[in-house]
Amino acid sequence: IKRMKGISVSRPIIYGNSATPLHGKKVNDSDHTHRWTISVRGINNEDITYLIRKVAFKLHDTYENPNRVIEKPPFEVTETGWGEFDIIIKIHFNPISGEKPLTLYHHLKLHPYEEDGLGNPWPKQKPVTSYNYEEVVFNEPIDAFYNLLQEN
């Protein structure tokens, strides 16, 4: 294996969640209050399949099968629930890269913590969002992976 000595390549990804209240609409007779989606994606919805092989989202243990593995885009999980919790996101890169998986943590956000800044309450239908930007750095990538990064 040949590594690109002294070279680092970075690629941006976005991860996080959106959530909307169910406004009392019952889901399977549960006490769920929100529908939410946790996702990992490229910037401007760029295709990141060259980079990512699969994404594992570890949900709270109150969920059935809390370990959700998504093998193709969109790399996301949509669920309903009543509470906020930390989601462990494990990103497995394209095997050609030889890179170790990257683990990220995201606090699922359901409730707006702020008003709109003008003292008005959060609009009822407006989704609550919490997204983070991550610059993934590959240090001294394997040459085949380096070439792939240059092509994408």
**Strand residues in 46-127 grouped as ranges (E):** 52-58, 67-70, 75-81, 86-93, 102-107
Q: Does residue 60 touch ligand SLL according to CB under 6 A?
A: yes
CB of 127 to ligand SLL, least distance (A): 17
Q: Does residue 66 touch ligand SLL according to CB under 6 A?
A: no
- The structure tokens listed for 48 are 């990141």
CB of 24 to ligand SLL, least distance (A): 16
- Contact pattern for ligand SLL over residues 3 through 42, marking x by CB under 6 A: ---------------------------x------------
Residues in the chain, overall count: 152
> Which helix (H) or strand (E) segment is 149 a member of?
helix 143-151
Largest CA distance in the chain: 59
Per the listing, tokens 């085949």 go with 144
Q: Does residue 81 touch ligand SLL according to CB under 6 A?
A: yes
DSSP helix/strand/coil, 13: strand
CB of 111 to ligand SLL, least distance (A): 12
Task: Give the number of other Cβ atoms within 10 Å of residue 102's Cβ.
Answer: 17
Q: Which is nearer to ligand SLL, 23 or 100 (CB)?
A: 23
Binding residues for ligand SLL restricted to 100-139, rule: CB under 6 A: none
Q: Does residue 85 touch ligand SLL according to CB under 6 A?
A: yes
Q: Does residue 78 touch ligand SLL according to CB under 6 A?
A: no
